[in-house]
Structure 1
């Protein structure tokens, strides 16, 4: 096998694609809970599953199948010595690092539009209690946010991508 790193990258990316588990978990005081990945999303509000998350997951399943088919065909081509470049499974976990930044903007700036100051930290993994003063009353909400092991697997797989590109460039 001429392109071992590239073939391994595509095989591991395929495995990540078919794992039906979320990449990130978010919970805001058990009011809203979100479990998501680029291929599925589960949103519960006050303990009830939102139908919108099922609709979005249905659409994302099409994306999952598309990525899966591309990865399988590119793995076969790389194993045969004719590698192609497909960077989607590199960029997805890297761009997921923007999630904490998006949440920071949402929880710090949008509440201020309604005169509800919050002090949401930019980055945290685990549990954080956020307090705010709403109309003279102190409100505390426990936020939980962490990447799952599937996310770490996808990020580790993404780290193979630059080496795959180097391997392809050197051998051609």
Structure 2
């Protein structure tokens, strides 16, 4: 076998893509709960799943099917001695580290438009308290942003693309980039 690291990375990527689990959960005081991964999405407001969740999940499931086909092809090619690399899982898992920042800035923007005084700390992982004052009403809710264990596994598998790339360079093969 010419590329064992690349083969392991591709097969493990295929496993991660095929597992139908959420990677992160965002909870805003239990009022709005968002479960997401690059392959599925659910948003629940007051316990009711929002209709947009079904459309977004359908699109993400199509992307999952596409990746399964491409990663299966890449596995076949690597087994035949042709180095093919894919950065899809690396890109997806690293971009998920930026999502808490995006949520923070979007929430601050939406709240600022409404001119509602709030205290919303930047939370990258874990929990924090958000205070909202509107007139004489004051509300405090817990904001929780937590990755699931499958996310850490996906990140580790994605990072395996780096030694797989170095393995191909060390062996002196020109590297053809996969479709993803």
Which has the larger helix fraction?
A: 1
What is the 5 A alignment of 1:123-162?
Answer: 123-162=123-162
Q: Please report the TM-score for the alignment, with normalisation by the length of structure 2.
A: 0.90
Partner of residue 57, structure 2: 57
What is the 5 A alignment of 1:83-102?
Answer: 83-102=83-102
Whether the 8 Å CA contact 2:126–2:145 is kept in 1: the answer is yes
Whether the 8 Å CA contact 2:27–2:33 is kept in 1: the answer is yes
Aligned length: 172
Secondary structure in 1 matching 2:53: helix
How far is the alpha carbon of 1:93 from its aligned partner? 0.2
Q: Deviations over 1:1-57 (max 9, x none)?
A: 110110011011101001111000011112111100010001111111112101111
2:22 matched to 1:22?
yes
Distance 1:126 1:132 in 2: 20
Q: Aligned-pair RMSD on alpha carbons?
A: 1.2
Q: Please report the TM-score for the alignment, with normalisation by the length of structure 1.
A: 0.94
Q: Structure 1: which 5+ residue stretches go unaligned?
A: none
Secondary structure in 1 matching 2:98: helix
Partner of residue 105, structure 2: 105
Distance 2:127 2:101 in 1: 17
Distance 2:161 2:119 in 1: 37
Distance 1:143 1:71 in 2: 36
Distance 1:69 1:144 in 2: 35
Q: Structure 2: which 5+ residue stretches go unaligned?
A: 174-180
Q: Deviations over 1:50-82 (max 9, x none)?
A: 121011111111100000111111112112210
